[in-house]
């Protein structure tokens, strides 16, 4: 190709735009698309960690997992953790955002402190929580013992009793998602034009009335995005459960990503592990589409 023509091609919008977007498309294709296709393939085979390929078994892996009580527990927990943690996050982030948007002394320090959990690597902060909830050296239990609120020899086992362990995991999820949601909510509040607030004031809308009829509707699209990210982050996270309980006590805190890992990688049943991992895909896809549609509908122009 003559040099002049090649040069012209790069200056044309119809070539330049695809050329610029191509690396991103290739990147997503290689890192998301290819593993996804491989997972679908593996989930339909009896592949093991030691074989990589396997014979076609149709939907056997899906049906056998569906009848496994541990899978059902993991499925239920994934939904419960996600909903409860995100409900806490939305509520907490709304309160924090309304507080942090105001002018006050030390606002930047407060914002920095609120953001800190988001900046810390998940694994590191979860190890911190592991120590906080430790069976022997828990600082929570130490405090409760010092206050004579619990039995000194039989303090609560935050990670050893199913309900407490579920609560502990939900707390950690909520704690780590809260900063991100707060920042998004602050951005949402900051983007409300001053004129709208002034108009609301003129119309006599103050306090809760203003919050309900003015602030919340305007904040809803961006809050939806925060919730969407929260759902995806919680439902697909494995680190928190892996570090805190490894699914215990007696697999009562299993989540789908953790059970997929335990079945496919640790247990060696790659096909079944892939099937477990893929159970979440259609659910998350539907949730994402619905939430994006909702965000578009409530968008205020």
Partner 1 sequence: MADGNTHSDGAEEEVAGGHTTRREIITKAAAGTLLVVYGGAATKTAAAGVPKYRARELAGTLKIIQWSHFVPAYDKWFDNVYVKRWGQANDTEVTVDHINQADIPARAAAEVAAQSGHDIFFFLTPPAAYEDQVINHAEIVQEVTKKRGKIKPVAFKSTYNQKTKKYFAFSDNYAPDPCNYRTDLWGEVGLKPTSWDNVLKAAPKLRAMGNPIGIGMSNEIDSNVALSAMMMCFGSFIQNKEQRVVLNSKATVNVLKFARELYRQGMSNEIFAWTAASNNQAMLAGRLSMALNAISITRSAELINPDLAAKIELLPIPRGPNGRLGLEHVMGAYVIWKFAKNKPMAQKFLADLEIKYIGAFENSKFYNFPSWPASVPNIARRVERDPVAKPSGKYKILAEIADKYTLNPGWPGNTNAAIDEIFNKFLIPQMFAEVAQGRRTPEEAAKIYDRSFRGIFQKWRNLGKI
Closest C-alpha among 25, 42, 71 to residue 247: 71
Three-state DSSP at 136 gives coil
Which range binds partner 1 by CB under 8 A, 9-17, 94-102, 107-115, 228-236? 9-17
Q: Is 221 within 8 Å of 299 (Cβ atoms)? A: yes
Q: Is 253 within 8 Å of 261 (Cβ atoms)? A: no
Give min distance, CB of 209 to partner 1, in A: 36
Give min distance, CB of 120 to partner 1, in A: 20
Which range binds partner 1 by CB under 8 A, 25-33, 91-99, 102-110, 246-254? 246-254
Strands (E), 174-248: none
**The only residue of 92, 179, 230, 247 in contact with partner 1, by rule CB under 8 A:** 247
**The only residue of 3, 11, 106, 202 in contact with partner 1, by rule CB under 8 A:** 11
CA atoms within 13 A on the CB side of 205: 14
Which range binds partner 1 by CB under 8 A, 81-89, 183-191, 266-274, 293-301? 266-274
Which range binds partner 1 by CB under 8 A, 82-90, 97-105, 205-213, 263-271? 263-271
Q: State phi, psi for 69 to the nearest 5 degrees.
A: -60, -35
Q: Is 43 within 8 Å of 245 (Cβ atoms)? A: no
Based on CB atoms, which residue is closest to partner 1, 115 or 161?
161
154 is a site residue for partner 1 (CB under 8 A)? yes
Q: Which of residues 87-146 bind partner 1 (CB under 8 A)?
A: 133, 135-137
Around Cβ 172, how many Cβ atoms within 10 Å?
Answer: 27
Give min distance, CB of 278 to partner 1, in A: 17
CA atoms within 13 A on the CB side of 281: 15
Give min distance, CB of 29 to partner 1, in A: 17
Residue 255 to residue 237: CA distance in whole angstroms = 9
43 is a site residue for partner 1 (CB under 8 A)? no
Residue 17 to residue 20: CA distance in whole angstroms = 5
Burial (0-12, 13-18, 19+ Cβ within 10 Å), 207: exposed
Q: State phi, psi for 45 to the nearest 5 degrees.
A: -125, 170
64 is a site residue for partner 1 (CB under 8 A)? yes
Give min distance, CB of 263 to partner 1, in A: 7
7 is a site residue for partner 1 (CB under 8 A)? yes
Give min distance, CB of 249 to partner 1, in A: 4
Determine the size of the site formed for partner 1 (CB under 8 A): 47
Closest C-alpha among 261, 245, 264, 280 to residue 170: 245
Based on CB atoms, which residue is closest to partner 1, 50 or 204?
50
CA atoms within 13 A on the CB side of 55: 2
Give min distance, CB of 148 to partner 1, in A: 16
The distance of Cα 63 from the centroid of its chain, to the nearest Å, equals 27
**The only residue of 158, 175, 233, 279 in contact with partner 1, by rule CB under 8 A:** 158
Site for partner 1, rule CB under 8 A: 7-8, 10-13, 16, 19-20, 46, 48-52, 64, 68, 70, 133, 135-137, 153-154, 157-161, 165, 245-251, 261-270
């Amino acid at each position: 190709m003559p040099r002049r023509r090649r040069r012209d091609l790069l200056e044309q919008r119809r070539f330049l735009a695809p050329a610029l977007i191509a690396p991103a498309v290739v990147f997503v294709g290689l890192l998301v698309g290819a593993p996804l296709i491989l997972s679908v393939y593996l989930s339909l085979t009896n592949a093991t960690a030691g074989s990589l390929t396997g014979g076609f078994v149709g939907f056997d892996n899906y049906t056998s997992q569906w009848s496994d009580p541990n899978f059902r527990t993991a499925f239920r927990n994934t939904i419960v953790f996600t909903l409860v943690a995100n409900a806490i996050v939305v509520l907490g982030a709304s309160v924090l955002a309304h507080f942090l948007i105001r002018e006050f002394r030390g606002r930047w320090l407060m914002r920095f402190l609120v953001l800190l959990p988001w900046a810390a690597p998940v694994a590191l902060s979860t190890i911190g929580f592991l120590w906080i909830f430790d069976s022997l050296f828990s600082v929570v239990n130490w405090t409760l013992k010092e206050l004579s609120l619990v039995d000194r020899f039989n303090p609560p086992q935050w990670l050893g009793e199913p309900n407490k362990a579920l609560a502990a995991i939900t707390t950690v999820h909520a704690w780590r998602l809260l900063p991100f949601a707060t920042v998004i909510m602050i951005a949402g509040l900051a983007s409300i034009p001053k004129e709208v607030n002034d108009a609301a004031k003129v119309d006599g809308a103050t306090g809760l009335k203003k919050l309900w009829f003015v602030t919340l509707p305007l904040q809803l699209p961006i809050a939806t995005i925060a919730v969407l990210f929260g759902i995806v982050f919680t439902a697909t996270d494995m680190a928190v459960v892996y570090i805190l309980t490894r699914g215990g006590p007696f697999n009562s805190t299993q989540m789908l990503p953790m059970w997929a890992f335990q079945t496919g990688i640790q247990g060696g049943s790659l096909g079944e592990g892939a099937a477990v991992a893929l159970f979440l895909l259609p659910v998350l896809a539907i949730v994402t589409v619905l939430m994006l549609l909702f965000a578009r509908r409530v968008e205020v122009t």
